[in-house]
Amino acid sequence: MRVKERKVVKMGDLTLAIEGTWMTTWKDGMERGEEIRVRAIVHWAGEKPWSVSCVMDDGVLSPYAGSELAKEYGSAMADRHARQFLRWLGLCFKDEASRLFNALDSTFLFNPEYRQRPSAIDTCWRLARVGVVASTLAITFNQLRVAVSKSFVLDIQNYRRYAPLDIFALVGECLCNFAAQGGKELDLAAAFVEVAEKKLQEEVSANGASDR
Amino acid sequence: MLHKGPTVYRRVIFPSAALEARARWKAVNGKAGKTMLRVRIYWLDDQRVREYPPALFRYSSDPLNALLFSRQAAIEEAMREAAEATDAYFVWLGLALQEERPLLFDGMTHFFKFDPSAPFATSMLYGAQQLGEWALLLRAGCAVVETEIFRHFPEDARKHVKELGAFLQNWAYRPEERVAEVVVFADANGQFAIKDAREVVRVLP
C-alpha cells in the first residue's frame, strides 16, 4: 500500500511540491515493514520538474497498517512528515540553527547524550540518515531562496519597505504557519505580504503608543 | 600546477575481507582544492569488492599549486592532507568500535561544524550533509569489522572488537606508519591477534 500527501508552495516562477509518501515494504512475499519518504519536487516555470527525496523513517509494520485504518494511518503519517519537512524549511529561513538541530535530533535521535546507550553503529546510521535529510533540505532551501530573491519581494520599493522586518525570517514564519495549519497549497507571496503588513502595522501602533 | 595528489591508502585485512580507506587531494578549478575519502570493502573469498559513495573531507582554501610550492612540496602537502583524511577515518572508526559514542559524536560534529550554535542554519545543514556521508562510511567500516570478528573469533568477540578499535586509534596517530596495513589474524594458538605491517604487502582483487 502506498499513500501520498502533497503540499504545494508557490513563489513567483517556482512551484515547490513537498510530497510525503507512506508505503509498506515487502519481503518474502509478505508486507513486513513500512517506510516514509519525503520528496521535494522543484518546478520552475517553463522548465522540466526535478526532485530530491529522502527516507524519513522506516521500520517494522505498525499494527494499524494491517487494519482497515491503514489508509488513514498512512495518510496521517505522510501528511505529518511533509509538514515536518516544511517546518524545518521554515526554521532554515529563520536561521534558527539551534531549534533545527533539536528538531532533527528529536526525530532521528542521533545525539548519544540524550539516549539510552545507542550503539556506535546505530549512532553512525542515525547520523548518516540525518545527513541525507540535511542534503535534501539544503537543496530545497536554496531553490526556494532563489525564488524569493527573484520575486517581487526584493523589488527596490518592496525591499525598502520590508527589509527592516528581515525578509527571509518572515518567509520562514509563513512556512512554519503553513506547516502548523496543515493546508494543501500556499501562495507564499500573498502569505508573505499578509504577515509583513501585519508586522508593519504592529510596529506602527507600537511606535504610536510609545510616542503618546 | 598540481591537479591531483597521490592516493593514500590504509587497510585493515581480516581473514576473509579487507577494509580499505583511501583519500586523495584534488584541485578544484585551479583555485581551491578538496580532499575526498573513499571506502572499499573487499571480500577475499569470492573476489568481490564494494565501494561506497565518496565523502568530502574538506576543501582547502589555499590551493596546493606550483605557484606557491615546488612540485615536490606540493605533492608532499597533498599527501599530508590525504593522510589526515584517512587518519580521521581510522580514529573515528576506532572510537566507534570502542563504543565511545559521545567522543565520536563530539569529534565529528565539531569537525564538520554540525553545531546548534552555528550562525546560519544552512551552514549547519551543510555540516550535517558532510557528516552524514562520513557516518555512512563509518557504519560500513563498523559492520565489516564486527562481521569478520564475530565470524572468525566468536569467543570474546565484543572484546576483540574493542581491542581492534583501540589499536586503530593508536595506529592512526603514528605518522611513521602511515602507508601501512593492519592484519587481523589467528595466531599459532588460534587466538585473536593484530599486527601492523609497515608496508602494503598484499595485492587485493
Cell numbers at residue A82, please?
511533509
pLDDT of residue B68: 62
Query: What is the SS3 assignment for B98?
Result: coil
**Rounded to 10 degrees, what is the CA torsion of A15, A16, A17, A20?**
180
Q: How many other C-beta atoms lie within 10 A of the C-beta of residue B28? A: 11
pLDDT of residue A91: 94
User: Contact A165/A199 with Cβ under 8 angstroms?
Assistant: yes
Q: Tell me which of B113 and A211 has the higher pLDDT.
A: B113
Angstroms from A70 CA to nearest CA on chain B? 32
Nearest partner of B129 among A122, A136, A53, A104, judged by Cα: A136
Q: Tell me which of A4 and A156 has the higher pLDDT.
A: A4
Contact (CB<8Å) B96/A101:
no
Q: Which residues of B touch A134 (CB under 8 A)?
A: 125-129, 132
Of A92, A113, A129, the CB nearest to B102: A113
Distance, in Å, from the CA atom of A79 to the CA atom of A118, rounded to the nearest integer, reads 29
Distance, in Å, from the CA atom of B137 to the CA atom of B40, rounded to the nearest integer, reads 9
Distance, in Å, from the CA atom of A90 to the CA atom of A107, rounded to the nearest integer, reads 16
Q: Judge whether residue B202 has pLDDT over 60.
A: no
Q: Judge whether residue B201 has pLDDT over 60.
A: no
Restricting to A residues 92-131, those with a Cβ less than 8 Å away from any Cβ of B are 92-98, 100-102, 104, 110-113, 117-121, 123-131
Distance, in Å, from the CA atom of B21 to the CA atom of B85, rounded to the nearest integer, reads 9
Q: What is the ipTM of this complex?
A: 0.84
> For the segment A120-134, what is each residue's pLDDT rounded down to a tens digit?
888 898 899 999 999
Answer whether A91 touches B (CB < 8 Å): yes
Query: What is the SS3 assignment for A130?
Result: helix
pLDDT of residue A116: 66
Distance, in Å, from the CA atom of B193 to the CA atom of B187, rounded to the nearest integer, reads 6
Distance, in Å, from the CA atom of B94 to the CA atom of B163, rounded to the nearest integer, reads 9
Distance, in Å, from the CA atom of A95 to the CA atom of B126, rounded to the nearest integer, reads 13
User: Contact A93/A169 with Cβ under 8 angstroms?
Assistant: yes
Q: What is the mean pLDDT of residues A72-87?
A: 93
Q: With residue A90 as reference, give the H or E element that holds it.
A: helix A70-93
> For the segment B125-164, what is each residue's pLDDT rounded down to a tens digit?
999 999 999 999 999 999 999 999 999 999 899 999 999 9
Percent of chain A with pLDDT over 70: 95
Structure confidence at residue B189 as a pLDDT band (50, 70, 90): confident
User: Contact B141/B93 with Cβ under 8 angstroms?
Assistant: yes
Residues 6+ apart with CB under 8 A from A9: A15, A16, A17, A18, A86, A144, A175, A178, A185, A186, A188
Cell numbers at residue B81, please?
592532507
* A-to-B residue pairs, Cβ atoms closer than 8 angstroms: 112
Q: Tell me which of B177 and B16 has the higher pLDDT.
A: B16
Distance, in Å, from the CA atom of B7 to the CA atom of B4, rounded to the nearest integer, reads 9
Phi, psi (degrees; rounded to nearest 5) at B140: -60, -45
Answer whether A12 touches B (CB < 8 Å): no
pLDDT of residue A153: 76
Angstroms from A4 CA to nearest CA on chain B? 26
Distance, in Å, from the CA atom of A63 to the CA atom of A69, rounded to the nearest integer, reads 10
Distance, in Å, from the CA atom of A84 to the CA atom of B26, rounded to the nearest integer, reads 38
Q: Judge whether residue A2 has pLDDT over 70.
A: yes
Q: Judge whether residue B177 has pLDDT over 60.
A: no
Angstroms from A206 CA to nearest CA on chain B? 29
pLDDT of residue A210: 62
Distance, in Å, from the CA atom of A40 to the CA atom of A132, rounded to the nearest integer, reads 13
pLDDT of residue B5: 86
Answer whether B136 touches A (CB < 8 Å): yes
Query: What is the SS3 assignment for A3?
Result: strand
Taking the domains of chain A in order of start, what are their residue ranges?
Answer: 2-211
Cell numbers at residue A186, please?
500556499
Distance, in Å, from the CA atom of B125 to the CA atom of B104, rounded to the nearest integer, reads 19
Q: Tell me which of A36-40, A77-81, B76-80 is least confident.
A: B76-80
Q: Judge whether residue A4 has pLDDT over 70.
A: yes
pLDDT of residue B29: 80
